[in-house]
Amino acid sequence: MKIKKIFGIVVVTLSMMLGLSLFTSVGYAAEGTIGLSVLTLQNPFFGVIAENVKAEAAKHGYDVIVVSAENDPGMQNNQVNDFIVKGVDAIILNPADSQAVAPSIKKADEAGIPVFTADIACLAEDCPVVSHIATDNYTGGHQAGKAMHEALNGQGKVAIVDYPEVESVILRTKGFHDELKELNSGIEVVGSWNGKGAKDQGFNVTQEFLQTYPDLKGIFAINDPSGLGAYAALEIAKKTDQVVIVAFDGQPEGKKAIREGKIYADPIQFPDKIGQITVQTIMKYFAGEEVEPEILIPTALYYKADAENDPEAQ
Cβ-contact 152, 189 below 8 angstroms: no
Is 3.40.50.2300 the CATH classification of the domain at 3-133+270-297?
yes
pLDDT at position 30: 75
Complete DSSP assignment for 132-182: EEEE-HHHHHHHHHHHHHHHTTTEEEEEEEE-TTSHHHHHHHHHHHHHHHH
Q: Give the pLDDT confidence score for residue 204 in this predicted structure.
A: 98
Residues 6 or more apart whose CB falls under 8 angstroms from that of 312 comprise: 252, 255
- The number of angstroms, rounded, from the C-alpha of 3 to the middle of its chain's C-alpha atoms is 34
The helix/strand count (H/E) of the chain reads as: 11, 12
* Closest to 33 (Cα-Cα) out of 288, 311, 282: 282
156: β partners = 187
User: Where along the chain do the CATH 3.40.50.2300 domains lie?
Assistant: 3-133+270-297, 137-269+303-313
One pLDDT digit (tens) per residue for the chain, 314 residues: 333 433 333 333 333 333 333 333 334 447 899 999 999 999 999 999 999 999 999 999 999 999 999 999 999 999 999 999 999 999 999 999 999 999 999 999 999 999 999 999 999 998 999 999 999 999 999 999 999 999 999 999 999 999 999 999 999 999 999 999 999 999 999 999 999 999 999 999 999 999 999 999 999 999 999 999 999 999 999 999 999 999 999 999 999 999 999 999 999 999 999 999 999 999 999 999 999 999 999 999 999 999 999 998 98
Q: Which CATH superfamily is domain 137-269+303-313 in?
A: Response regulator (3.40.50.2300)
Please report the pLDDT score of residue 34 as a whole number: 98
If one counts every other C-beta atom within 10 angstroms of the C-beta of residue 71, the result is: 19
Question: What pLDDT is stored for residue 16 in this prediction?
Answer: 32
Which residues on neighbouring strands pair with residue 208, listed in sequence order? none
Torsion of CA 45, 46, 49, 51, to 10 degrees: -100
